[in-house]
Structure 1
Amino acid sequence: MNSDDTSAAGTMVVVVGPSGAGKDSLMDYARQRLRDNDAYQFVQRCITRDSAAGGEDHQPVTIDEFEDMRRQGRFAVSWGAHELFYGIPAQSLEEVQRGRTLIANGSRIAIPEFRKVYPNLVVVSITADRAVIAKRLMARGRETAEEIERRLNRAADAWETDCEIVAIDNSTSLESAGERFVSALLAIAGVRVPETVAE
């Protein structure tokens, strides 16, 4: 894509947030609300994680398969975190060039790479109160109290980016945060929403 010609291009929306903030739940909510709107596409990531492990709907691949795909240029963006590797399909570039708004599950550490690839980039940062995140992580039962504490400390680390950031607080109900997320996506695509809804 020609990074100098962005007037007719769509937008890549990268959703980031710490484990326990409810990122996947909000993306599922927005996916259902926007399922009949062809202007939006939710990106399916390639992940070196078995499909039986649960979580988001993804394309499971082995580490060797992932490396082959990366060498072949089949990822627009790829990164590693928590002993897993993640890839955003290169086809997403074509969809953005057609003017669509794409929504991808991302990571703060990968934002610089997204910034290089997608001229029109918006980051949606999903947050929640520390106590709420801790309660959600404890309920999952996957980590010890010490591991959860480390996660909470990492989530509190400051980070910077030169692209637009939209913050969504998901400390209360899924519907409340979900509607704010949908309103943000509509605004990003140029659909005017009432101020009382967008707040």
Structure 2
Amino acid sequence: MDGETDVSLRSQEDRREDRAPEELIGPGRLILVVGPSGAGKDSVLRGARDRLAHDARYVFPRRSVTRPPSADEDNLSLNEDAFVALIDADAFALHWRAHGHRYGVPRAIDTAIARGATVICNVSRTVLDTARLRYQHVTVVGITASRDVLAARIFGRARESEDEATKRLDRAAALRSVRVDVEIDNGGALDDAVTAFVAVVARPN
């Protein structure tokens, strides 16, 4: 999926967010979801969003992405120039590059976290250190599945060439080295994974 590959060389503007603020943003929580392509991160997030839709304490921000919209994701599609303009305007709390595209989480999450909300979003592993330097309470949730399950999902969706699908599968191994606070196996029933994820989200700080 979109947030799991290495960030390419970033410009000076891109690196601005690596500087920690004088005070960490809180008291709310930031739940960051990572995992390999095919693990079903978006499915788990969608299930959790549906369950928590009527509870204002939980915020699922809409990301900005420099690629066409997908039926599986609720992203704001932007071209490269528009995205860079938002970087220059300091409109993103977190942003990164992956698979030749840019992804950004809106600065509005800072306000939500400052008022005590729990913000949940799917990100790249490359922004985890930045997030831990910016926010008081960060929980990183790794969504996983066996290699066989990942392969079946990646090749089954026929969204890219066989070569690119194979590269995505191979990159899954690199994600195993990422330090997460909670790991959830989504290789079985989706409802079970969503239940486990909602339990993590609902924990107090």
Q: Under a length normalisation based on structure 2, what TM-score does the superposition of the two structures give? A: 0.83
Q: What is the aligned partner in structure 1 of residue 23 from structure 2?
A: 3
Q: What is the aligned partner in structure 1 of residue 199 from structure 2?
A: 183
Return closer, same or farther for 1:5/1:114 CA change in 2, 3 Å cut-off: closer
The alignment of Structure 1 onto Structure 2 pairs a total of residues equal to 184
- 3-state secondary structure, aligned to 2:56: coil
Alignment partner of 1:65 is 2:82 = yes
Alignment partner of 1:50 is 2:68 = yes
Query: Which segments of 5 or more consecutive residues in structure 2 lack a partner in the other structure?
Result: 1-20
Q: Distance in 2 between matches of 1:160 and 1:126?
A: 12
Residue 66 of structure 1, CA deviation? 0.5
Q: What is the aligned partner in structure 2 of residue 196 from structure 1?
A: none
Q: Distance in 1 between matches of 2:71 and 2:53?
A: 22
Alignment partner of 1:97 is 2:114 = yes
C-alpha contact (below 8 Å) 2:30/2:118 kept by paired residues? yes
What percentage of residue pairs aligned between the two structures are identical?
37
Q: What is the aligned partner in structure 1 of residue 105 from structure 2?
A: 88
Q: Give, as a single letter, the amino acid of the residue that structure 2 aligns with 1:28.
A: R
- 3-state secondary structure, aligned to 2:43: helix
Alignment partner of 1:143 is 2:163 = no
Q: What is the aligned partner in structure 2 of residue 171 from structure 1?
A: 187
What is the aligned counterpart of 1:15 among 33, 38, 47?
Answer: 33
C-alpha contact (below 8 Å) 1:77/1:117 kept by paired residues? no
What is the aligned counterpart of 2:52 among 34, 54, 79?
Answer: 34
- 3-state secondary structure, aligned to 1:50: coil
- 3-state secondary structure, aligned to 2:136: coil
Q: What is the aligned partner in structure 1 of residue 145 from structure 2?
A: 128
C-alpha contact (below 8 Å) 2:154/2:169 kept by paired residues? no
What is the aligned counterpart of 2:130 among 93, 113, 117?
Answer: 113
Q: Point out 4+ residue stretches in structure 1 off by more than 2 angstroms.
A: 1-6, 142-150, 158-161
- 3-state secondary structure, aligned to 1:177: helix
Q: Distance in 1 between matches of 2:88 and 2:198?
A: 35
- 3-state secondary structure, aligned to 1:49: coil
The alignment's C-alpha RMSD in Å is 1.8
C-alpha contact (below 8 Å) 2:66/2:102 kept by paired residues? yes
Q: Give, as a single letter, the amino acid of the residue that structure 1 aligns with 2:58.
A: Y
Residue 159 of structure 1, CA deviation? 2.8
Q: Distance in 1 between matches of 2:66 and 2:82?
A: 9
Q: Distance in 2 between matches of 1:134 and 1:124?
A: 21
